[in-house]
């Protein structure tokens, strides 16, 4: 099995079903975990040297940090309705507790930081879905912790791709620290699929093909993108959702399209104006 794909695991004693660390991924910045907690259960942890973005994927939760608390946050029962999530930003050298008020799916997104920003709540009013692309390249994107909200390293967003469509497409990459042409960002994709017995395809490949993996990703799988291009295709009949986490030396998302496929952008502009 490819090292770039982490399949969902049976929940451990804490309810964790995914655990990506810089050590396990072989990179420097991004950490990512997913928990499924039954109502009444809780998760306690310290942020240590990381900033953390707690994304309420589905369900309701109460969240406390050393200085802040928020009760009964979260509205979604599904990730496929183009409804923005609630999230909580936690700085380094802090602690957090998440109590599941209902059955809860929680994503924990991490990256190294120094403590420039305080803990704060991110509400659906702070975020919004926007539709990008045309035809079979259309998808719906929600920035959770991106240009809408300050952080030191973390970039967090989610994407819904209708069945039969492509996203992260045309293929693009962000693996060189060459701003303003391109920035270096590691990335994880946490996939959800509706109906949940489905799958999506994701390819990760570099120009020299030193990495060239095409994966069939099932529900709650995580794809790691250390470098290279990384398009996603949703088969007919199955809607794709994924939660993206990115981090790197600088908090800028500047990507480079695969030159072999960049023509698609101009072709889409012509179609869109006709």
How confident is residue 237, by pLDDT bands cut at 50, 70 and 90? very high
- Which stretch of DSSP H or E encloses residue 120? strand 120-122
Work out the widest C-alpha separation in the chain, in whole angstroms: 56
Q: Contact 213/205 with Cβ under 8 angstroms?
A: yes
Give the pLDDT confidence of 49-93 residue by residue, as tens digits: 999 999 999 999 999 999 999 999 999 999 999 999 999 999 999
DSSP helix/strand/coil, 51: strand
pLDDT of residue 13: 97
pLDDT, position 1: 55
What pLDDT was estimated at residue 147?
A: 87
Task: Collect contacts of 67-71 with beta carbons under 8 A, ≥24 apart.
Answer: 67/94, 67/118, 67/119, 68/118, 68/119, 68/120, 68/121, 70/121
State whether residue 26 is helix, strand or coil.
coil
Residue 150, SS3?
coil
Q: How confident is the model at residue 251 (pLDDT cuts 50, 70, 90)?
A: very high
Cα gap 128→85, rounded to integer Å: 9
Q: Average pLDDT of the chain?
A: 96
Its sign, for the CA torsion 70, 119, 84, 160, is: negative
pLDDT in tens, 104-150: 999 999 999 999 999 999 999 999 899 999 999 999 999 999 988 99
Rounded Cα distance, 151 and 154, in Å: 6
Q: Cα separation of 209 and 206, whole Å?
A: 5
Is the domain spanning 11-259 CATH 2.60.120.10? The answer is yes
- In Å, what is the CA distance from 32 to each residue of 61, 147, 152, 207, 240? 19, 20, 16, 27, 19
Give yes or no for residue 96 having a pLDDT over 70.
yes
Q: Are 32 and 245 within 8 A, CB to CB? A: yes
CA distance 71 to 139: 32
């Amino acid at each position: 099995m490819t090292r770039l794909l982490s399949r969902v695991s049976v929940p451990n004693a804490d309810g964790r079903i995914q655990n990506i660390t810089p050590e396990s991924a072989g990179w420097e910045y991004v950490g990512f975990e997913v928990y499924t907690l039954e109502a009444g259960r809780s998760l306690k942890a310290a942020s240590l040297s990381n900033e953390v973005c707690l994304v309420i994927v589905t369900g309701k939760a109460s969240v406390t940090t050393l200085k802040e608390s928020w009760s009964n946050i979260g509205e979604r029962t599904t990730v496929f309705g183009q409804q923005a999530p609630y999230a909580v930003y936690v700085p380094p050298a802090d602690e957090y507790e998440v109590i599941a008020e209902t059955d809860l799916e929680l994503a924990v997104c991490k990256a190294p930081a120094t403590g420039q920003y305080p803990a704060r709540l991110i509400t659906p009013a702070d975020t919004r879905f926007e539709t990008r692309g045309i035809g079979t390249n259309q998808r719906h994107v929600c920035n959770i912790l991106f240009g809408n909200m300050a952080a030191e390293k973390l970039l967090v967003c989610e994407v819904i791709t209708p069945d039969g469509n492509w996203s992260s497409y045309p293929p693009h990459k962000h693996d060189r620290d060459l701003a303003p042409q391109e920035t270096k960002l590691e990335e994880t994709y946490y996939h959800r699929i509706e109906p949940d017995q489905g799958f999506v395809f994701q390819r990760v490949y570099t120009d020299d093909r030193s990495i060239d993996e095409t994966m069939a990703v099932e529900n709650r799988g995580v794809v790691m993108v250390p470098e290279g291009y990384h398009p996603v295709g949703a088969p007919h009949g199955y809607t794709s959702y994924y939660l993206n986490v990115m981090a790197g030396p600088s908090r800028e998302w500047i990507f480079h399209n695969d030159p072999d496929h960049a023509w698609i952008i101009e072709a889409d502009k012509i179609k869109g104006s006709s």
